[in-house]
Amino acid sequence: MGSITISAVGNRAPSFARSKLPLQVQVSAEDTVEDVKKKIAAKISGFYAARQRLVLKSDTTKALADETKLKDVGLVDGGELEVKDLGPQIGWRTVFVVEYMGPLLIHPIMFSFPQLFFGRPVVHSNLQKFSVAMVTLHFAKRVLESIFVHRFSHGTMPLSNIFKNSAHYHILSGVFLACDLYRPGYSATSPYIKGTQKNDETYLWTFASVWALFELLNLSAHLTLRNLRPAGTKKRAIPYGIGFSLVSCPNYFFESMAWLTLSVMTGSYAAYFFTVVGTAQMLSWALKKHRNYKEEFGKEYPRNRKAMFPFII
C-alpha cells in the first residue's frame, strides 16, 4: 500500500472541490483507475466517478481508461494523478429514451388532432395512416431497444448534451416531419393523393413490407452487437452475422434504408431531409467505428468490409 496525490488539471478545480484538492488517497499497485475514482468520490461529495477524467501529470491530453492498473502506468507510492471535472452526467440509456420518446409522442398527437395544428380537420388518407403507423413503430422499437437490447461502453454523457441530441429527433423527425406528413396536402381529399397510387393499399403495403424488412434487419444487427458484449463488461470482439460480412455497421445501413423507403413512399421533403441528415451522421459514426475496429483487431479484421455502404464506403 502507498498513497498518491490527486490534483486538479491546470489547478482548475470545480467549486465544490476547491477546498479538498489536492488530496491524498491510499492505493495499491493492483488498483485500477476506476478504483481511484471511487476513492476520490468517497472523499469529495458529489464528485461521482462518472464526472471524473483522470490523466497522468506528464500527459494531460489522454484520459486513463477505467480498467488501467496503476502499476501499468508506472504509478507508485508518491505518484500524482490529475483530475478534470466533466460536469453533471446522465446515463446513455436515459438519453436514448428521451430522444426517441419525442417523435413517439409527437406523431400520434399531430395525427389525431390536426385541427389544433392546421386550423381545420383533416380526412386522413391511407398514406397518412401508413406513415403514422410506420414512424410510431420505428420509435417504439428504438425505445424498447434502448431499454432491453443496447449495452453501452460508456455509462454516461454530459447532461448538457441531451438538449442537442434530443433536438435532432424532436425537431427534425418529430415536429418537422409530422407537420409535413399530416397536413391537408397529404389528406384523402388532396389532389396529390386522391386517385393516385399514394392512396392505393397495394402500393403502400409493398413499401411497408420493404420498410419492415429493413427494420427487422436493423434489430438483428443490434442483437448481434449485444451478444458480443457480456453484461457489465466492456469486452469488444469482431461482429459476424447478417450484414456484417459486407460492412462494419449494418445497423446504420439498414436504418438509413428504412428511412429512404418511407421517404420514397411519401414523397415528403421533410422525410428526405431527415434521411439525408441522419444518414450523414450515421456515416460519420460508421467511419469512426470502422477505423477503430481495424486499429484494434489489425489483420484479424476482414479486409473486404466497408464502413456502412456495401462495396462503396
**What pLDDT, in 10s, does the model give residues 241-276?**
999 999 999 999 999 999 999 999 999 999 999 999
pLDDT in tens, 55-74: 998 777 889 888 899 988 88
Helix-, strand-, coil-residue percentages of the chain, each rounded to 5:
55, 10, 35
- Phi–psi pair at 99, nearest 5 degrees: -60, -50
Round to whole Å and give the CA distance between 34 and 65. Answer: 8
pLDDT level of residue 156 (50, 70, 90 thresholds): confident
Average pLDDT over the chain, rounded to an integer: 93
Cβ neighbours around 280 below 10 Å, total: 10
**CATH number, residue 17:** 3.10.20.90
Lowest pLDDT segment from 162-171, 174-183, 202-211, 257-266: 162-171
pLDDT level of residue 235 (50, 70, 90 thresholds): confident
pLDDT for position 14: 87
Q: Do 128 and 75 belong to one domain?
A: no
Q: Do 123 and 44 belong to one domain?
A: no
For the chain, what percent of residues have pLDDT higher than 90? Answer: 78
pLDDT for position 232: 64
Q: Do 75 and 97 belong to one domain?
A: no
* Whether the predicted pLDDT of 154 surpasses 80: no
* Whether the predicted pLDDT of 202 surpasses 70: yes
| Domain boundary pick from 40, 62, 87 | 87
CA distances from 275 to 36, 169, 270 (A): 44, 12, 8
Q: Do 49 and 118 belong to one domain?
A: no
Q: Do 39 and 159 belong to one domain?
A: no
Is the Cβ–Cβ distance between 274 and 172 less than 8 Å? Answer: yes
| Domain boundary pick from 52, 87, 122 | 87
- Phi–psi pair at 65, nearest 5 degrees: -65, 145
Is the Cβ–Cβ distance between 64 and 39 less than 8 Å? Answer: no
Round to whole Å and give the CA distance between 29 and 1. Answer: 7
Q: Do 81 and 97 belong to one domain?
A: no
Q: Do 77 and 127 belong to one domain?
A: no
Q: Which candidate, 34, 156, 149, places its Cα nearest to that of 95?
A: 156
Q: How would you classify the pairing of strands 89-91 and 23-27?
A: unpaired
Q: How many domains does the chain have?
A: 2
Q: Do 196 and 227 belong to one domain?
A: yes
pLDDT for position 233: 66
**Interior angle at CA 147, CA 138 and CA 280, nearest 5:** 50
The reply to whether 282 falls in a domain is yes
pLDDT for position 223: 96
Q: How would you classify the pairing of strands 2-8 and 80-85?
A: parallel
Domain range enclosing 295: 90-300
Lowest pLDDT segment from 46-50, 100-104, 210-214, 256-260: 46-50
- Phi–psi pair at 233, nearest 5 degrees: -120, 170
| Domain boundary pick from 25, 57, 87 | 87
Contacts of 245 (CB under 8 A, 6+ apart): 302, 305
Q: Do 66 and 139 belong to one domain?
A: no
